[in-house]
Structure 1
Amino acid sequence: MKLFPTAYSEPGTKPGTLADVKNGHYSLHMMSYTPASLTERPEIEPAACYSFIKDSDITWIHVQGAPDSATLRTLSQAFDIHELYLEDILNTGHRAKLEVNEVHAFVILSLPRFENKQIVTEQVCLFLSDHTVVSFCTGELDPFLLVRERIRKPTSKHRQRGGDYLAYTLIDTIVDHAFPVVETLAEDIQVLEDKLLEKPEKAIVQEIYFLMRQLLLLRRRLWPQRDIVSQLQRDDNLELLADDTRIYLRDCYDHCVNITELLETYHEIASGMLDIYLSNATHRLNEVMRVLTVISVLFIPPTFLVGVYGMNFDPGASSLNMPELASPYGYLFVWIAIVGMMGGMLIYFRKKRWF
């Protein structure tokens, strides 16, 4: 799996060029509502979306999956979406960003989820105009099912508010999808800490590195979203957002800050776990080296002793030539000397707490 999966056009391609999606599957879901009415089309053709746009209604078009270039061009004509935005929608893997002009706002965010115990991020694009919100989400998982459930209730805030509140709800839903992922990472960290304290094995290093990589990749995707939400709530030139909606965006910004701080904290914990493992490995190596050193030191005097008596100079040639060779107890005396020296050194090492 790629570290940073990104789709892009060939170098030199004309800006706004839309490449056809191979084996792409997508679905369109439309909701148009007022405080007193609701029209919903779970499966709708792109060309039919324009007929539901009215000044008195809030229209939400959600595209789930990988739409082809023809669908994007149809939606572009209906909702006046710039061709560069279409290219960003089609070429996934972009960094979170916000584009604002007098009548439109275009937002790109990342939605993290787990797939085969690895974190993958889906790209979510939101196009906001006065009465219309068009959203695009890659992958098969539709993250806005609960939002639709709330819109279906006549007493919900969505039915009483404008399209800016709907856009806030979608952004907040995307941001909050990171909390379960971060919580799962926290559980993985706890499991690794328990393993590290009980039995620090070499395999744990791979798990720690994998966890740190996941945290870094997730941080890269989610950190810019904090700036995007901050810009949305502070940009006075963005007239599409009402002042009371900006209050909700401040709460969403707090969620972004909380998530990024958790990621930073967990990354520091993972780095500390790696340091603990390396310290344990160094400690174990020092223990082994100390034992080997003690053993080596214990055998140095006996080695010297047997080396001296291994010269075998004839005592008959001179009284100075190893008279112990002729002693009937010479061999026993050497063993007593060896055991005594080694025992004495062991007692000395124990007193010094070297062993």
Structure 2
Amino acid sequence: MEEVKNHKRKVGLPPGTILYTGKEESKCDVKVDVYSFDDKGIEKKSLNYSDDISFIKTNNKFNWVNITGVHNVEIIEKVGELFNIDSLILEDLANVNQMVKIEDRGSYLFIVLKSIEMVERKIIYDQVSFILVGKVLITFQENSKDIFASIKKRLETPNSKIVKRGIRYLSYAIIDNLFDNYFEIIDSINGKVGTMEYNILKKFKEEYLEEILYLKREALGLKKITYSMREINLKFFNEEVLNYFGKDLKNYFRDLYDHITSICSSVDSLTSDSSELLQIYYTTVNNNMNSVMKILTIISTIFIPLSFLTGLYGMNFKHMPELENPNGYFYTLGVMLLIIVIMIIYFKKKKWW
């Protein structure tokens, strides 16, 4: 519903209008981290969105600019002006509801992917956009979570492979890191599915239905994203796109494709398992209902002959000799009890109870 509302805000606006479409609570402080490096070393700068970043075009180094907070129009416009970025691309940077994609714009490459994390049992997707232009990589992320922490650590390690191989390899490493995070989330959801299956079979509760539907919904959401990521991954092998990274990285992207294929396979299994979980739930509900009906049927069956006896002695005939017996009442109760015992033994022998 929130996504629909945000899209409605764009209705009637001309193409290329920069408008943030995310949730208000997703807004965070804008940060600009710049990593400049070459074979002599690496330098990091943390800037404000209003600071000048034009030095990245003239310092003759590889530069990675990571911008956090795409709700800020000023920083997006500044990047657009500095690198002559198409207004439609700038619009996409602030539109966090974009599907994943790759666009070759001649002088630069534009990529949109989705990062993923688990927050309080819920999968959160955040948009991560890339602009690769010459020796500069600019990444835009929606929230303040440091999703590139492991990449930054590798970058700052002495004799780093990333520093030696330059901005193109850094771009690949970031993309690969985003894909690797999917494995952790899928493993986490798989664990929840396994636990839920055990709970249903061993300690069933009707409240489990809501959790099962949640797991199924998350699995379907994962499937939608991962399959689109796999389709996008194929574009890395296009001649035009591969030129931005260098043909020496072709084998790395082939390995990346193997990763995303494995992710899709895992998500398929997860989707299937979550659907089977729902079937197990309903089967368990039916079995429990059948057990209840079985007990009620047995009880009703046992009382049929007892009802016959009570009905027989309630007919008020004048000549019923056993009614004259002082112990007739107790004899009748004894017969009733004997009938109950015999019927229970019979049901047990037939394994009906």
Smaller-chain TM-score bracket: 0.7 to 0.9
List aligned pairs for 1:201-216, cutoff 5 A: 201-216=205-220
List aligned pairs for 1:86-101, cutoff 5 A: 86-101=90-105
* Structure 1 gap ranges (5+): 316-321
The Cα shift of 1:247 comes to 1.3
Further displaced range: 12-21 or 135-144: 12-21
Which secondary structure state, in structure 2, belongs to the residue aligned with residue 124 of structure 1? strand
Cross-structure match for 2:113: 109
The Cα shift of 1:139 comes to 0.7
Residue type of the alignment partner of 2:54: Y
Cα pair distance change 1:5/1:186, threshold 3 Å: farther
Cross-structure match for 2:12: 12
The Cα shift of 1:90 comes to 0.7
Is the counterpart of residue 129 in structure 1 residue 133 in structure 2? yes
Which secondary structure state, in structure 2, belongs to the residue aligned with residue 172 of structure 1? helix
CA distances 1:154-209 after superposition (whole Å, capped 9, x unpaired): 63232332432221111112111222222222332333233233311222222222
Is the counterpart of residue 345 in structure 1 residue 343 in structure 2? yes
Cα pair distance change 1:148/1:351, threshold 3 Å: closer
Aligned pair count reads 347
Which secondary structure state, in structure 1, belongs to the residue aligned with residue 114 of structure 2? strand
Is the counterpart of residue 30 in structure 1 residue 34 in structure 2? yes
Residue type of the alignment partner of 2:301: V
Q: Distance in 2 between matches of 1:300 and 1:279?
A: 31
**Aligned counterpart for 2:168 among listed residues 123, 141, 164:** 164
Is the counterpart of residue 199 in structure 1 residue 197 in structure 2? no
Which secondary structure state, in structure 1, belongs to the residue aligned with residue 244 of structure 2? coil
The Cα shift of 1:99 comes to 1.2
Which secondary structure state, in structure 2, belongs to the residue aligned with residue 240 of structure 1? helix
Cross-structure match for 1:140: 144
The Cα shift of 1:330 comes to 4.8
Cα pair distance change 1:88/1:178, threshold 3 Å: same
2:70–2:76 CA contact under 8 A, matched in 1? no
Cross-structure match for 1:318: none
Further displaced range: 120-129 or 261-270: 261-270
**Aligned counterpart for 2:299 among listed residues 295, 303, 311:** 295
The Cα shift of 1:53 comes to 1.3
Residue type of the alignment partner of 1:84: L
Residue type of the alignment partner of 2:37: Y
Further displaced range: 44-53 or 79-88: 44-53
The Cα shift of 1:215 comes to 2.1
Residue type of the alignment partner of 1:235: N
Further displaced range: 40-49 or 237-246: 40-49
The Cα shift of 1:107 comes to 0.8
1:172–1:252 CA contact under 8 A, matched in 2? yes
2:49–2:74 CA contact under 8 A, matched in 1? no
Cross-structure match for 2:246: 242
2:28–2:144 CA contact under 8 A, matched in 1? no
1:6–1:93 CA contact under 8 A, matched in 2? no
2:31–2:49 CA contact under 8 A, matched in 1? no
**Aligned counterpart for 2:178 among listed residues 174, 179, 188:** 174
List aligned pairs for 1:272-283, cutoff 5 A: 272-283=276-287
Q: Distance in 2 between matches of 1:44 and 1:279?
A: 58
1:97–1:107 CA contact under 8 A, matched in 2? yes
Identity fraction in percent: 27
The Cα shift of 1:14 comes to 0.8
**Aligned counterpart for 2:154 among listed residues 145, 150, 153:** 150
Tell me the TM-score normalised to structure 2 length. Answer: 0.88
Further displaced range: 306-315 or 79-88: 306-315
Cα pair distance change 1:34/1:44, threshold 3 Å: farther
Q: Distance in 1 between matches of 2:328 and 2:104?
A: 100
2:38–2:166 CA contact under 8 A, matched in 1? no
1:55–1:131 CA contact under 8 A, matched in 2? no
* Structure 2 gap ranges (5+): none
The Cα shift of 1:336 comes to 4.5
Cα pair distance change 1:258/1:284, threshold 3 Å: same
1:98–1:106 CA contact under 8 A, matched in 2? yes
Q: Distance in 1 between matches of 2:174 and 2:5?
A: 23
Q: Distance in 1 between matches of 2:329 and 2:152?
A: 96
Is the counterpart of residue 62 in structure 1 residue 62 in structure 2? no
Cα pair distance change 1:350/1:142, threshold 3 Å: closer
Cα pair distance change 1:350/1:148, threshold 3 Å: closer
Tell me the TM-score normalised to structure 1 length. Answer: 0.87
1:6–1:91 CA contact under 8 A, matched in 2? no
